[in-house]
Structure 1
Amino acid sequence: MKTLLIISVFCLAVTFNVSGQATPQEMLNKAIYEEEVNGNLEEAIKLFLEIVEKNSTNRTVTAETFYHLGLTNEKLGNKKAKEYYEKVVNNFADQPKFVRIAKERLSKLQIAEKIAEETPKVMTSKKIWEGNEVDNLGKISPDGKYISYVDWPAGDLAIYEIATEKKRRLTSYNFGETWSTDPKTTYVLSSIWSADSRQNIYSTGTGEIRTIGLENSTPRTIRERETKNEWVVQVYDISGDGKTILGTIETMDRKTQIILVSVRDGEKQIIKELSGIRIVGKLKFTNDGAGIVYDYPPDLDSPVHDIYWLSLDGKTETPIIKHPAHDFVLDLSPDGNQLLFASSRSGKMGFYYVGLKNGKTQGNPKFIKTSEYPNLTGLGFSDNGVFYCFYQPFVTDVYETEINSETSAIVSHPNEIIGSFMGENSAPDYSSDGKYLAFISRRPPFFTRENGPPTGNVLCIKSLENGTLREIKPDIEDFGIPKWSPDNSSILMMNTNTERTTEIYKIDLQSEKLSLIFSDKNKKIFDFEWCADGMSIFMVLQYQENDTTKHKLVRYNLETKEEKILFVNHGRKGYFPDLATISCSPDGNWIAFLGLDQKKTIKIIPTSGGEVREIYSLDQKKTIDGKQIWSSKSYANSFIHHCWSADGKYIYLQKFREPRGDGIWNLWQLPVNGGNPVNLGLEMTDIWQISAHPDGRKLVYSNQGSSYKLPQIWMMENFLPKDDLSVNKNE
C-alpha cells in the first residue's frame, strides 16, 4: 500500500497542468516527494514554505502543508514543529482531518516534553569528528548543523555538516596550488557565523575580513588591510545585532590590538592595545552589549593567562578570573549568564563555569569535568545549549632503532627507550661520546605557545650506561631541540617567550646555570647547530627586508656576537623557502640544509662558506588522478629534520609515505657522495629530531608511535545549571 502511495505521489509530482505552471496541489505533491521519498527534509521545507507564501485560496492544501511543515521539523528535532501543528489546529476548523492528526502529533510532543522535563539531565560528551582536516580555526553554527574549518592546504573556508558528515568548500582560493606562482594568493585564517547560520565571516592571511553565504555565494570584502604594519588579523565574535565584528590585529611593530569592525563599511575601532605580541585567547561579546570577555597573559613574562572583562569603549577593564593557574575563555552560555572556561588549577586541564553579570562573577568557579586532552579550544555553543570543543591529542615518545648503513637494513625495529612519563617525551639528542641521551619532557601543567616541533618544560639526561635519569627544570617555560656541545659540558635549547620571540639558551650541566645566547625580536630562529669548535653556532634566521620574508644561514660567534652569512634564500612574499632545517657533518666541515618548499631539495655547503651542492630532491608534490594530494599533515610547509651518519657518508631524514595524505613517514638514507637513496622501510607518524649514535649503528628520534591520535571535535551537553550561580561553591 505504501509503495502504491509513493508511486502515486511521484506521478503527481512530475505531472503539470496544461498551462505549464504547477498548481498548489502539484507543488505540494512535489514537496511531499522530497520529504518521504528522497528524504531531503531541508529542500522539502523550502518547498512547503513556498506553497504557504503563494497559495491563498486552497485551504485544504494550506492545512496539509502546515501539517507537513510540522512533520519535517519534528524529524529534524526543531521546536518549530509544535508551532506549525498549532497553526493547523487554531486556524483550520474547516479541515477536520488535518486538525485531528495535528492534535495527535501535538499530544505526542507534549507527552515527550513532559517526560523530558521530568527526566534528570545527565551530562554527556561524545566525539563527533576526527581527522587530519579537523582544526580549531572555525566555530559551530548557531543552529548546530555545521562546523566551519579551513581546508588545508587549499586554505579555503569549508563547512562540515554534522548530521551527514559531508564537507564542502565555500571559497576557492586554492592556496596549496597557487602560492608558488601568485604572491597575492591568500588563505582563510579564522571564521565565525552570523546569528541565522546563513553567513560566515572570516579573516584571511593577507589581512582582509570577508563574508560569504552558504549557497552559491561570492565573498564580499568587509575590510581590507590598511597598512603593512597590520600582520595577523583574526575574527572571534559578532555582536547580537549582527552589526559589529570583534577581532584582533597583531602588528609588525609587535603590538596586539583588540578591534571592533563595522559589518556595513569595515570601519575599525581599536578598544585596547597590548604592548608586545601576546597570545590573546578567545574574545566574546557579553549578551548585554556592554563589554567583552577575553584572556591574555597579565604581563610579558607570564606563561599563563587570566580572564578579563573589558568595556566596549576600552576605558574599563576588570579581572574576573585571576589565579596562579592557566585560565582561558571557552565561551559564554547562550543566555550570557555563565562563563565557561578552562583551567589548570587542579594540576590537570579541566572545564569550569561561573556566573557572570554586569562584568562581574557571581560566586566561585565550579568544576565540571577533566578535559580529555590538555590542548583544547572552545568552538562555541549552539542555540540549544550544546557546547563544541576542539582537542589536539599530542603524545610523543622517544624511540631507538639499530641499522646497518652498509646494507641499508633495519637491524632492530623501533624500541621506546625512556620508560617513564610515556607520551610526554620528545626531541632526543645523543652526546658526542655516546654515553648520554638528552631529551625534552612535558610535565603538567604545560602549555605550548607555538605550533611546531614538540616542546616541554623539563630537560632530561639519561645515562645509556646505567639508565639513571637526571631532570633539570630551567627557568623557561616552552623549550625544545636540545643540542649537546662538542665537549658535552653544556646543552643548547630553543625557547619561545611570551612575545613569541624565539631564543637560544645554554644550560651548563655542572652548575645548571641558564644563559641567554641569542634573542632578536625581528628574527625568528628556525633551526640551529653547534660548530665543531664549540665557539660558534649555526642558525637559520627568518627576517623581513623590503616587505619580503627572507631566510639566511649564519655562523654566529658566541663571544663577539658577530654573524657571518653563509647562505641567503632570496624569497618573496608568500613563498616557502628552501632553507629551514640544518645538520652538521661529524667532521665539522659541511652543513646540510632543507627547506619548506614542496620540492624539498637537500643541499650541503662548507661550514666556512662557499659553493652549495645539491644532494637529493624528495619531490614531495604528488598527484593521484591528475590532482595534487595535500593534507594538513603533508603539504609543502613541513619541517623535515635530518642528521648525518657517524662516518659522514649518509644523511638520514624522513619522507612522506606515497601516496601522501595519511601522516605516515618513511625513514630514508641518502648517500652524500653519489648513489641511490634508500627507503629503510621504517614507517612511523610525525618523526621529529633524528640523532645518530657515534657507534654508527643506532638512530634515535621522537614520534607519536602507536599512541598517535588525530585532531578531534567533541560535543558536551547538560552540564550547565539553569539556576542562578551566586551560591556556587568551589570544586
Structure 2
Amino acid sequence: MERIAIILIMCLVPLMMATGQEQQAGKLLSKAIYQEEVNGELDEAIKTYRLIVQQYPDNRKVSAEALLHLGICYEKIGMPQAYDTYQDIIDKYAEQQNEVALAQKRINHLKAFADDRHRKAEQHLENGNELLKQWEYESAIKEYEKVIELRPNTLLARNALYNIGQSYFKAGRYEEALTTLKNIIEENPESSITPVSELMVVQVQNAILNNTSSSVNNDYSDEDRIVDPETGITYRKIKTFTGRNDVIDWASGTKLSPNWKFLLKGNTIVPMDGNDPFKFVDMQVSAPAWSPDGKNIAFTNGDSSIYMVPVSSETGHATGTPENLLKREGRCSLSGVNWSPDSKKLYFHMINYPENDYPEIFSLTISDGAIKSLTTENIPQFNPACSPDGNTIAFNGPFSSLWLCSEGGSVAKQLIDNKHTKPHWTHDGEWLFSDEARKGWGRSLNFIKVSDKKEFKITPPVKTGSYLSMSPEGNKVLFYRPSHQLFWGMKVASASGGPSYEPVSHLPVYGAQWSKNSKMIIIQGEKYNKMEEGDAAMRIVPITGGESFLLNMDVDVKGEPFAYCVTTDQKRILFKTTKEDESEDLYMVPVSIEEARVTSPPTRIIENWNRGGAYNTKMSMSHDGTKLALIHNEDIWIYDIDAKDLKQITKTPEKKKWISWSPDSRMISYWAFVDNPDFEVETRIILSEEGKPIKTLNNCMVYPFGWSPDNKSVVLFRNNKLIIRNIFTDEIRVILDLNTHWLDDIGNYCWSPDGKYLVIDGCENAEPDTKYHLLKVHLDGCEITELATDDLSFKYDISWSPDGKWICYCFMEMEKVRPESTLWEADFEELVEKLHH
C-alpha cells in the first residue's frame, strides 16, 4: 500500500509542476496583456512576452499567443520585427490554428500597408525628381524627406538622400551637399549608392575649391525689348510662363487660340491669364489644330483617325465629346491637319495603304464627312495650308519644295524648289513663309511673295526663341522661347547599381570614350556650353567632376577641322574638313591626351571621301589602334596607320553600314543591304586582311558593340529575344526573352571587360513617356541589376570603363535651362520693310 502511494505521488508531482507552470505562464501572459492594452507600457510588455516564450517553450498555446501579442507590439511602435514574429508563429506553431490564422491576417495587413507606403514613397521620389529638374530645390528636398520617412533604411530612402545631396549641390549649398553625401558613405559603406556618392563628394569639393557654380549659364535675359543689331528689327517680350504654367517645352507644334487666350500643345491647353494648364480631352492627341471660329479643336489619334471636339472659346474646356470624322476601313497614315478659314473643312496629308506608298493631300468637309483629293500630281505631298481667301492650297512637295493648287482640286504648280517646310500664309494672302528645313531647329523663317516670288529670310535673335504663330490680327509675328531645351549629355553609373552621376553639366555630348586609366572620359561635343552655338570639338572630362578642357585642334589644313573621335590607342584624332564643293577629306593627327593638344602635322587618309551616311556607321578603328576600316563608294577600305597605306578589300555594289572590328582585329563585320524578298539586311563577316568571307547572317544586324571579348560570338536581338550566337558553330544562347519580361524592346548593349555581363538599354512602353532602363545582365540570365535607377531618359553610346567599375552613356532629354518661358512679338510691317527692301 505504501509502495502504491509512493508511485501515485511520483506521478502527481510532475503533473502538479506542469499545472503550476501553466498557471505561471498564464499569469505572465495576463500581466503582459494588461501592460500592453491597459497601461500602454509597450516596452515592458515586449520584455514580458519575450520572457514567456523563453521560459515556457513547452506551453505552445501560451507561447504562440505571446508571440502574436509581441508582433502587435512591434507593429504599434513601428518596428520591422513584427513581420518575422508573425512568420515564426506560422512556421513553428502550425497546430495553434487560431493564432496562425491571426498571424497570417496580420502579415497580409503588413504587406498591404508596406506596399501602400512603398507606392507613396515612389510617388514622392518621382515628384522630387521632377521638381529637381524644374530647379525647385527646396520643394524637391521636402519630397525626398517624405520618402525617407515612409521607407527608412531602404534603398529607396538612400536614393532619396543622394538626391537631397544633388539638390543642395545644384542650389549652390555646397557644405550641406558635402555633409549629406559623406553621411551616405559613412552609414552605407557596402551599398551600391556609395560609389557615385564618392564621386559626388569630389565634385562638390572641386566646386568649393575652384569657387565654381553648378547653375546653368543660361543666356537668360530679363530684357523686355531687343533690337536685332543686324536687321534693326525690334522684338518685344509680351508674356512669361513660370511654375505650373510653364509646361510647353517646344515651340514647334504649339498653336495660339484665335482669341489669343490660350496656347495649345498636344493635349494640353495653357491659359494666357496665368491659370493652371489642363487637358481638354481624355485621349491620345497628336497635331491639334484650333478652328478659326474658336469652336472646335481637330486632332489625330494615332495614324488613321481624325477627331473633332467642341470647346468653349472663353474657357478652353471641351463642351462635348470627341467625334471621329475620318472613318477608314483600311490602313492609312495621316498628319498635317489644318483648317479652312471658314472652319468648314479640314486639310491633311495621308498615305493610303496598300494603294500608295507616298502621302497625298486631301480635304474633309465637316458637315458630311466627304473626302477629296486636291491634286493629281504624282509626287509626295505634305502639310497643306489654305489661303485666307479659301481659294488656294499651299503644300510641300519632295525635297522641301513649295507648291500651289486650287482648293477645288487642280494640277499643282511649283512655287520654289527648296528651303520650305510646313507653309504658313500671312493674313493678307500675299506671302508664304516656313521654317528653314536645312537648319533643322526651326529658328530661321523663309518668306516668299506669291505674286513675284521675291524672297527674304529672318533669323530672330537667340533670346527670342523660334517662330510660334502670327497674331490673330495678322500684324505681329510671334516667337516662343521655352525654359527647356533638348539636350544631349553624358552620365556615369556604377556597375554595382544605384543612381546616375553627371561628371560635367551644361556641355553637349554626342559621343564618349574612356581613357585607358578609367579616370577621364573623352567626349565629342562643342566648344561652348549648351546655351551657345559652337563648333564641334573634343573635350577631356575628369570622372571626378573637375573642370573639363578642350583638346586643342591647331592643325594646318584648308577648312575648319571637324573632330570625329580619338583612336582606340588614344594616340590620334580622326577629323574631316569640308571643301567649298561640299566634298570631304578625312585626316588623322597625333595627339597627347595628357597635354590636350596635337603633337605633329596631320596626315590625309582619303581625299573626297564618299561615305554616304553618318560617320560612326561608316568607319571603325581596330582595337589595337593600328588600322582604320572605312566605307568609301560603298566598298570597304583598310588604312594602315604605320604604313600610311589605304587598301580596298571589297568589290561588291550593295550599300554597307555599321562596319566593326572583332576585338583581335582579325575580322570585320558590316551590314549589307541586299535585294532579297525575305529580308533586306544581312550581316557579313570577312577577314580584315584580304576581305575573304567567313560568315553571312541573314536577316541579322550585328552592331559594333556586339562582338564578344573572345572573338567567337556576337550579340543579336531577334524575335524579341536577346541572344548570343557563335559565328563558327551557330550555337545560340538566349540571355533575355522579352516575351516573358516586362521590357518591350532592347536598344544598345555592350560587353563587360571580363566577358561575364552585358549592359543593355531596355525600353518600357509607358504613359505618358517611354521609359529607358539601363540593366546589367549576367550571361546566365539569372542576375539582372538596374543601373542609373534615377534616369529613364533615352540612352545611347554605352561603354564600360576598362577597370570594369563604371558605365558611361550618352542621353537625350528635355532639360530646364532658363527660369521661365517667354513669348515675343515683332511687327510684321517693320519686318517686311527692313528685310524685303
For 2:756, the equivalent position in structure 1 comes to 649
- Are 2:629 and 1:490 aligned? yes
Deviations 1:434-493 (A, max 9, x none): 65677999999x9xxxxxxxxxx9989786656558999855786364362658432469
CA RMSD of the aligned region, Å? 6.0
- Are 2:237 and 1:144 aligned? no
For 2:71, the equivalent position in structure 1 comes to none
Q: Tell me if structure 2 keeps the 8 A contact 1:354–1:362.
A: no
Report the Cα distance in structure 2 between the residues aligned to 1:219 and 1:407, rounded to whole angstroms.
Answer: 45
For residue 670 of structure 1, report the CA deviation from its aligned partner: 3.5
Which blocks of at least 5 consecutive residues in structure 2 are unaligned? 1-231, 312-317, 502-516, 531-535, 539-562, 640-644, 687-691
- Are 2:533 and 1:417 aligned? no
What amino acid does structure 2 have at the position aligned with 1:484?
Answer: S
Q: Tell me if structure 2 keeps the 8 A contact 1:378–1:390.
A: no
- Are 2:368 and 1:265 aligned? yes
- Are 2:334 and 1:233 aligned? yes
- Are 2:834 and 1:718 aligned? no
1:65-464 mapped onto 2 (5 Å cutoff):
122-125=234-237, 128=241, 131=247, 136-137=252-253, 139-150=255-266, 157-164=267-274, 166-173=276-283, 187-214=284-311, 215-228=318-331, 230=332, 232-252=333-353, 253-272=356-375, 280=382, 282-298=383-399, 305-321=400-416, 326-329=419-422, 331-343=424-436, 350-352=443-445, 354=447, 356=449, 359-361=450-452, 363-365=454-456, 367=458, 369-370=460-461, 378=468, 381-383=471-473, 385=476, 387=478, 393-396=485-488, 415=521, 417-418=523-524, 420-422=526-528
Q: Tell me if structure 2 keeps the 8 A contact 1:330–1:380.
A: no
The 3 A distance-change label for structure 1 pair 413 and 442 is farther
The 3 A distance-change label for structure 1 pair 348 and 555 is closer
The 3 A distance-change label for structure 1 pair 222 and 437 is farther
For residue 207 of structure 1, report the CA deviation from its aligned partner: 0.9
1:482-561 mapped onto 2 (5 Å cutoff):
482=617, 484=620, 488-491=627-630, 534=667, 536-537=669-670, 555-556=683-684
The 3 A distance-change label for structure 1 pair 402 and 133 is closer
Q: Tell me if structure 2 keeps the 8 A contact 1:295–1:328.
A: yes
SS at match of 2:755: coil
For 1:41, the equivalent position in structure 2 comes to none
Report the Cα distance in structure 2 between the residues aligned to 1:398 and 1:310, rounded to whole angstroms.
Answer: 48
Report the Cα distance in structure 2 between the residues aligned to 1:604 and 1:251, rounded to whole angstroms.
Answer: 40
Report the Cα distance in structure 2 between the residues aligned to 1:367 and 1:319, rounded to whole angstroms.
Answer: 23
SS at match of 1:265: coil
The 3 A distance-change label for structure 1 pair 205 and 560 is farther
Alignment equivalent of 1:585, drawn from 693, 708, 718: 708
What amino acid does structure 2 have at the position aligned with 1:417?
Answer: I
Report the Cα distance in structure 2 between the residues aligned to 1:687 and 1:593, rounded to whole angstroms.
Answer: 18
Q: Tell me if structure 2 keeps the 8 A contact 1:379–1:387.
A: yes
Deviations 1:266-314 (A, max 9, x none): 3222224676767x4x43211122212233444xxxxxx2433333355
Report the Cα distance in structure 2 between the residues aligned to 1:139 and 1:505, rounded to whole angstroms.
Answer: 48
- Are 2:824 and 1:689 aligned? no
Which region of structure 1 is more displaced relative to structure 2, 424-433 or 194-203?
Answer: 424-433
Report the Cα distance in structure 1 between the residues aligned to 2:785 and 2:257, rounded to whole angstroms.
Answer: 48
TM-score by length of 2: 0.48
Report the Cα distance in structure 2 between the residues aligned to 1:220 and 1:347, rounded to whole angstroms.
Answer: 34
What amino acid does structure 2 have at the position aligned with 1:365?
Answer: F
SS at match of 2:828: coil
Report the Cα distance in structure 1 between the residues aligned to 2:683 and 2:437, rounded to whole angstroms.
Answer: 41
For 1:671, the equivalent position in structure 2 comes to 778
Percent identity of paired positions between Structure 1 and Structure 2: 14
Report the Cα distance in structure 2 between the residues aligned to 1:647 and 1:458, rounded to whole angstroms.
Answer: 38
Report the Cα distance in structure 1 between the residues aligned to 2:361 and 2:485, rounded to whole angstroms.
Answer: 30
What amino acid does structure 1 have at the position aligned with 2:359?
Answer: T
What amino acid does structure 2 have at the position aligned with 1:160?
Answer: V
The 3 A distance-change label for structure 1 pair 396 and 346 is closer
Report the Cα distance in structure 2 between the residues aligned to 1:317 and 1:640, rounded to whole angstroms.
Answer: 43
Q: Tell me if structure 1 keeps the 8 A contact 2:661–2:669.
A: yes
Q: Tell me if structure 2 keeps the 8 A contact 1:620–1:656.
A: no
Report the Cα distance in structure 2 between the residues aligned to 1:372 and 1:210, rounded to whole angstroms.
Answer: 36
TM-score by length of 1: 0.54
Report the Cα distance in structure 2 between the residues aligned to 1:492 and 1:131, rounded to whole angstroms.
Answer: 44
Q: Tell me if structure 2 keeps the 8 A contact 1:428–1:691.
A: no
Report the Cα distance in structure 1 between the residues aligned to 2:724 and 2:362, rounded to whole angstroms.
Answer: 46
Report the Cα distance in structure 1 between the residues aligned to 2:259 and 2:661, rounded to whole angstroms.
Answer: 55
Report the Cα distance in structure 1 between the residues aligned to 2:438 and 2:367, rounded to whole angstroms.
Answer: 42
For residue 239 of structure 1, report the CA deviation from its aligned partner: 0.8
For residue 257 of structure 1, report the CA deviation from its aligned partner: 0.8
SS at match of 2:432: strand
Q: Tell me if structure 2 keeps the 8 A contact 1:665–1:683.
A: no
The 3 A distance-change label for structure 1 pair 460 and 490 is same
What amino acid does structure 2 have at the position aligned with 1:219?
Answer: P
Report the Cα distance in structure 2 between the residues aligned to 1:706 and 1:220, rounded to whole angstroms.
Answer: 33
Higher relative contact order (CA 8 A, sep 6+): 1
Report the Cα distance in structure 2 between the residues aligned to 1:286 and 1:158, rounded to whole angstroms.
Answer: 27
Report the Cα distance in structure 1 between the residues aligned to 2:468 and 2:579, rounded to whole angstroms.
Answer: 23
Q: Tell me if structure 1 keeps the 8 A contact 2:518–2:803.
A: no
Report the Cα distance in structure 1 between the residues aligned to 2:735 and 2:392, rounded to whole angstroms.
Answer: 57
What amino acid does structure 2 have at the position aligned with 1:238?
Answer: W
SS at match of 1:613: strand
Which blocks of at least 5 consecutive residues in structure 1 are unaligned? 1-119, 151-156, 174-186, 299-304, 447-456, 494-502, 546-550, 569-578, 622-635
Deviations 1:602-655 (A, max 9, x none): 55444464544235989997xxxxxxxxxxxxxx87764221123312223457
For 1:64, the equivalent position in structure 2 comes to none
For residue 210 of structure 1, report the CA deviation from its aligned partner: 1.8
Deviations 1:343-388 (A, max 9, x none): 48999965446474xx3257542535245699x6755644574635
Report the Cα distance in structure 1 between the residues aligned to 2:579 and 2:272, rounded to whole angstroms.
Answer: 35
Which region of structure 1 is more displaced relative to structure 2, 127-136 or 244-253?
Answer: 127-136
Higher percent of residues as helix: 2
For 1:613, the equivalent position in structure 2 comes to 734
What amino acid does structure 2 have at the position aligned with 1:140?
Answer: L
Alignment equivalent of 2:810, drawn from 698, 702, 725: 702
The 3 A distance-change label for structure 1 pair 556 and 142 is farther
SS at match of 1:240: coil
Q: Tell me if structure 2 keeps the 8 A contact 1:394–1:709.
A: no
For 1:182, the equivalent position in structure 2 comes to none
Q: Tell me if structure 1 keeps the 8 A contact 2:685–2:693.
A: yes
What amino acid does structure 2 have at the position aligned with 1:396?
Answer: W
Q: Tell me if structure 1 keeps the 8 A contact 2:634–2:653.
A: yes
